[in-house]
C-alpha cells in the first residue's frame, strides 16, 4: 500500500464532510509512512483492515466526530489482532519475562504499538517521548536494554545516548538500540560514536524486536558469566 494511496484515500473521505479526519492526520501519514511496519503501524495489507474498521467506527459514531486520541485507540485495537496473526506461521517470541526495556519514541502510535508488542514478550516496559525524559529515567531506574528513536523533540536520540553513557555506574554497559529509517554508513557511524550498540531499521516487525532483544540480552549475560 503506497503512501500516495493512503493519503489520497483519507483526504477523499475527509472531504465527504461527515468524517473528522483532520489535516493533521493526513500530514502525519504523509511524513511518517516510511516508519510504519506490518503488524505494528499503518503499512501494507494491515492497513486495509485497519482503514476499514477504524473509519467505519468513526462513520457510525452518532456525533460524527473523533479526536486524535480516540482514533489512536481504534488503530491500536485493530493492530493488536494484526500483530498476533504473525505468530501463526513461525514462533517469534522468546521468553523475555522480566526483561526491563526503555522505549524512547515520540510518535504516539508507534510508541503504543511497540510497547504493547514488547509487553506481549513478557518485558517490563517504560516509555519516554524524548531523549531528556530517557536520561532522567535511566538515572532513576535500572534497565536491561533501551530502544531509542533518533529524531525527537527536546533532545534527540544521539545526544540522549551520549548522556546515558556518561551516567556513572549505570549507563556504561546498557545496550542501546537505534530505531531509525536512516541506514547510511554515516548515520550508523554517528550512532556508534555516541555509544549506541546496534540498529533496528524502520519499518520493523515484532520478530525484529524479538531477535534484537535475544541478541543483546544473551550477549550481556555471556559477558557477565
| Domain boundaries along the sequence of the chain | 3-85, 100-224
Is the distance from CB of 60 to CB of 52 less than 8 angstroms? no
Instruction: For the chain, 225 residues long, give each residue's pLDDT as a single digit of tens.
Output: 444 444 444 444 444 443 344 444 444 444 444 444 433 333 333 344 444 444 444 444 444 444 444 444 444 444 454 444 444 333 345 578 999 999 999 998 889 889 999 999 999 999 999 999 999 999 999 999 999 999 999 999 999 999 999 987 776 789 999 998 877 889 889 999 999 999 998 888 888 899 999 999 875 554 444
The bridge status of strand 145-149 relative to strand 124-128 is: unpaired
| Whole-number pLDDT of residue 158 | 96
pTM of the model as a whole: 0.63
| Whole-number pLDDT of residue 198 | 95
| Whole-number pLDDT of residue 219 | 52
Nearest partner of 196 among 206, 205, 207, 182, judged by Cα: 182
As a dihedral over the C-alpha atoms of residue 118, residue 119, residue 121, residue 123, rounded to 10 degrees, the angle is: 90
Stated as kind and residue range, the H or E segment containing 178 is: strand 176-180
Q: Where are the alpha helices (DSSP H) in the chain?
A: 3-15, 23-32, 44-59, 68-85, 108-120, 131-140, 157-165, 185-193, 206-224
Written out in words, the top-level CATH class of the domain with range 100-224 is alpha beta
Is the distance from CB of 44 to CB of 204 less than 8 angstroms? no
Per-residue exposure over 174-196, b if at least 16 CB sit within 10 Å of its own CB, e if not: bbbbbbbeeeeeebbebbeebbb
Amino acid at each position: 500500500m503506497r503512501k500516495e494511496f493512503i493519503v489520497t484515500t483519507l483526504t477523499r473521505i475527509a472531504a465527504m464532510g461527515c468524517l473528522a479526519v483532520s489535516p493533521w492526520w493526513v500530514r502525519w501519514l504523509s511524513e511518517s509512512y516510511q516508519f510504519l511496519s506490518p503488524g505494528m503501524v499503518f503499512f501494507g495489507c494491515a492497513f486495509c483492515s485497519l482503514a476499514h474498521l477504524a473509519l467505519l467506527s468513526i462513520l457510525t459514531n452518532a456525533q460524527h466526530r473523533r479526536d486524535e486520541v480516540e482514533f489512536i485507540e481504534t488503530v491500536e485495537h485493530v493492530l493488536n489482532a494484526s500483530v498476533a496473526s504473525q505468530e501463526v506461521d513461525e514462533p517469534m517470541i522468546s521468553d523475555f519475562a522480566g526483561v526491563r526495556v526503555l522505549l524512547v519514541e515520540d510518535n504516539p502510535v508507534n510508541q503504543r504499538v511497540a510497547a504493547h508488542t514488547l509487553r506481549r514478550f513478557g518485558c517490563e516496559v517504560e516509555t519516554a517521548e524524548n531523549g531528556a525524559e530517557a536520561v532522567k529515567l535511566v538515572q532513576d531506574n535500572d534497565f536491561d536494554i533501551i530502544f531509542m528513536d533518533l529524531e525527537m523533540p527536546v533532545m534527540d536520540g544521539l545526544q540522549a545516548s551520549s548522556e546515558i553513557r556518561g551516567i556513572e555506574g549505570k549507563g556504561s554497559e546498557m545496550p542501546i538500540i537505534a530505531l531509525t529509517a536512516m541506514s547510511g554508513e554515516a548515520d550508523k557511524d554517528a550512532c556508534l560514536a555516541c555509544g549506541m550498540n546496534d540498529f533496528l531499521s524502520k519499518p520493523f516487525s515484532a520478530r525484529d524486536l524479538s531477535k534484537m532483544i535475544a541478541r543483546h540480552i544473551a550477549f550481556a549475560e555471556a559477558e557477565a558469566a
